[in-house]
Amino acid sequence: MKKKYLVGLLVVVMYLSLVGCGKTENNYETNNTENNINKIEQDNETVNTENENNNINKTEQDNETDNTENKNNNINNTENKNEKEQDNDNESSNSYQSNNTEETDQRKKNYLLFGDSFFENCIKKKLGISGNISEYDMLMLDSITISSETSDISEIKYAKNLSSISLNSDVSNGLEELIQLNNIRRVDLGFRNNLDITFLSKMPQITEITYNYTNIIGGDLNMICSNKKLKKLSYRSETSGVEFIKNCNYLESLSIVSTLRQSDDISFLLSFSNLKELEFWAVGDLSIEQKNVVEQLIKKGVLYKTEAG
């Protein structure tokens, strides 16, 4: 009986052992399966991550390539534009030079018909030519002194580069042509001649005027001081006083010859803040008041000159 019981117990133990081993194997297989699944998922994630990184890198590389190409295209476009602009500039320059050459050639062929033979001879003498005078020849004039017999200077309008003119004649025609000559800076109104000086009021670029016993038949002395750019005035008169000069308070140099009388008030000169040089020639003895003005001007640094030195 006891033996039979042991046999049964052994059978039960063996059965339980077999069952436990099966379960262990199943657990092992289950664990292996789960591990494989996790590994596959991890591998997939790694692959996906790598793919994403590769895609990002490729996109960045593509963008960099596109940017480089765009930059190169922009550079090429800019270079092409600059080359085109340079070509246009060259064409414009060549066209301008060509036009200037044609204009110069045309001026050389355009000979002038002078209405005053004295004026024509005056120009020929100044330029040193004997034949006909062309428009181009007139451009060579920088300064001119009009001879005493001349009455018509209408052709002076072609002297575009004229900077100085002396009117030593009773000019009755052509003075208005001086207005369009913008390079003129110095005008000498001549010596004891009859002259209409109205043109002076329309020449604001003039910086120097000489009035030398001129007999004014048109306009007045105030027109001399109508130009605020006037820096130098030389004034000689036997009949007129110096009262008008007070309106020339922008002068830097003033010369008065044979004009000043002891009764003339020159105190206005003290307000000439730009005055640097003052000359009195052949004016006789100054009054006490005039001497006082001169002394004050000298103290202010004005250079004073007389025939006495």
In angstroms and rounded to an integer, the radius of gyration of the C-alpha atoms of the chain is 53
CA dist 18 and 14 (Å) reads 6
Q: How far is CA 274 from the centre of its chain?
A: 28
Task: Tell me what the mean pLDDT of segment 170-175 comes to.
Answer: 95
Highest mean pLDDT among 23-32, 121-130, 235-244: 121-130
CA dist 254 and 132 (Å) reads 41
Per-residue model confidence as pLDDT tens digits over 38-82 = 554 555 454 454 555 555 455 555 555 555 555 556 556 656 666
128's tokens: 């040193």
pTM: 0.66
Q: Kindly tell me if the per-residue pLDDT of 24 is higher than 50.
A: no
Q: What is the pLDDT of residue 90?
A: 63
Q: Kindly tell me if the per-residue pLDDT of 207 is higher than 80.
A: yes
Q: What is the pLDDT of residue 26?
A: 42
Per-residue model confidence as pLDDT tens digits over 195-204 = 999 999 999 9
Q: What is the pLDDT of residue 221?
A: 85
Cβ distance 298 to 306 under 8 Å?
A: no
Task: Tell me what the mean pLDDT of segment 237-251 comes to.
Answer: 86
